[in-house]
Amino acid sequence: MDLGEILLGNMVDVSPKSDKARLSSLFALLFGQKFKKGVIVLIIGLTKHLKDDFGIDFKNQNLLDEAFTHASYVNEHPKENLKFYERIEFLGDAVMQLCVSEYLFKRYDTMPEGKLSRLRAAMVCEDSFSKFAKECHFDEYIRLGKGEEKADARKRPSLLCDIFEAFIGALYLDQGKSVVVDFISQVVFPKLDMGWFDHFFDHKTELQEYLQKDGECSIEYKLVNQEGPDNERLYRMAVYANGEQLGEGTGYSKKAGEQAAAAQALKKFGKTATK
């Protein structure tokens, strides 16, 4: 039986009635250190979340534990000989820079270096990473000290950014670059087509210039549908030129959806927003 089966199967009962000593012994055997019952539940929950939602099954659980442990928790538990995420975050930052750079270089093969750098900066900044972490529910699995917990630190963008980078570093060490690319292909790269970085691109203006280069052209954007809760609502928009639909796109606002629709229309004409 492998580690995933031990953690996720029915062998481990984490209900209030489960035997605390038995759980601690099992985790000490698996990871070489003892954990409190609440932490065990947290680790099992994170492991299951990663496997169910992203198909990721960590081989070295200690790396994952380190990536989600804040210095305040380590300081409050000096006898547990724990590590916190700072060093592994340093590595994750570099890995994200490389993976995003490589993706942009291949996707926008005629974009000048200056524009590539600015787009990468928008994708790997604190604001973006903190949103990615929140979307992945990483905030729910951070180990914090009592003081930081009371201060609502797990909602702090800078901390969420650090945790996202630390997770990337842990994943890289555990399974290599290809698995990291698979993960960010699910979480990060699709945002380019969903309007997250529209402050960098202006697909609508480029489409208008292209369509009207030989004369007047009536361009119209229409809402196709919307779905999801109010705080995460997705809008699907369609763009029409002289009544003919040219493309559809989705975003977290109507404007973002319009930009995504314009981007799809540009692709239809073999164009990209690279000017």
Q: Are residues 66 and 187 in the same domain?
A: yes
Task: Indicate the annotated binding residues for Mg(2+).
Answer: 89, 162, 165
Q: What is the pLDDT of residues 78-111, one digit of tens each?
A: 877 788 999 999 999 999 999 999 999 999 998 8
Q: Tell me: pLDDT of 255 over 90.
A: no
Domain termination site, one of 148, 168, 193: 193
- 147/216 same-domain check: no
* Residue 261 or residue 9, greater confidence: 261
Sole residue written with tokens 């409050």 = 76
Owning domain of residue 210: 203-268
Q: Do residue 152 and residue 240 come from a single domain?
A: no
Instruction: Please say which residue of 162, 193, 224 terminates a domain.
Output: 193
Q: Count CB-CB contacts under 10 A for residue 177.
A: 13
184 and 207 both lie in a single domain: no
Q: Rounded mean pLDDT of the chain?
A: 83
Q: Of 65, 93, 198, 206, which residue is the catalytic one?
A: 93
For residues 115 and 173, membership in a common domain is answered with yes
What values do phi and psi take at 240, rounded to 5?
-125, 145
DSSP structure string for 240-251: EETTEEEEEEEE
pLDDT digits (tens, 9 = 90+) for 167-226: 999 999 999 999 999 999 999 999 987 778 866 777 888 899 899 988 889 999 999 999
76 and 169 together in one domain = yes
Rounded to 5 degrees, what angle do the CA atoms 125, 131, 137 make? 135
State the DSSP H helix or E strand holding residue 220, giving kind and residue range, or none if neither.
Answer: strand 219-227
Counting the structural domains of the chain, the total is 2
Alpha carbons 56 and 180: distance in angstroms, whole number: 10
Residue numbering of the annotated binding site: 89, 162, 165
Count CB neighbours of 268 within 10 A.
11
pLDDT value of position 272? 59
- pLDDT for the residue numbered 37: 45
Q: What is the pTM of this model?
A: 0.66
Our answer to whether residue 93 is catalytic in this structure is: yes
**Residue 72 backbone dihedrals phi, psi, to 5 degrees:** -65, -35
Same domain, 144 and 228: no
- Of 193, 217, 238, the last residue of a domain is 193
Considering the domain architecture, whether residues 132 and 254 belong to the same structural domain is answered as no
160 in any annotated domain: yes
- Asked if residue 45 belongs to a domain, the reply is no
CA distance 34 to 40: 9
Whether the per-residue pLDDT at 27 is higher than 60: the answer is: no
Residues 169 and 248 reside in one and the same domain: no
Instruction: Return d(Cα 23, Cα 52) in angstroms, integer.
Output: 23
Do the domain assignments include residue 115?
A: yes
Q: Is residue 4 part of a domain?
A: no
CATH number, domain with residue 127: 1.10.1520.10
Q: Which two tokens stand for residue 104?
A: 């942009």
- 171 and 239, same domain (yes or no): no
Could you say which of 65, 66, 148, 165 is catalytic?
Answer: 165
Task: Compute the distance between CA of residue 35 and CA of residue 25 in angstroms, rounded to an integer.
Answer: 9
Q: What is the pLDDT of residue 94?
A: 97
Q: Are residues 180 and 249 in the same domain?
A: no
Q: What is the CATH number of the domain that holds 227?
A: 3.30.160.20
Give catalytic status of residue 140 as yes or no.
Answer: no
Residues 232 and 149 in one domain: no
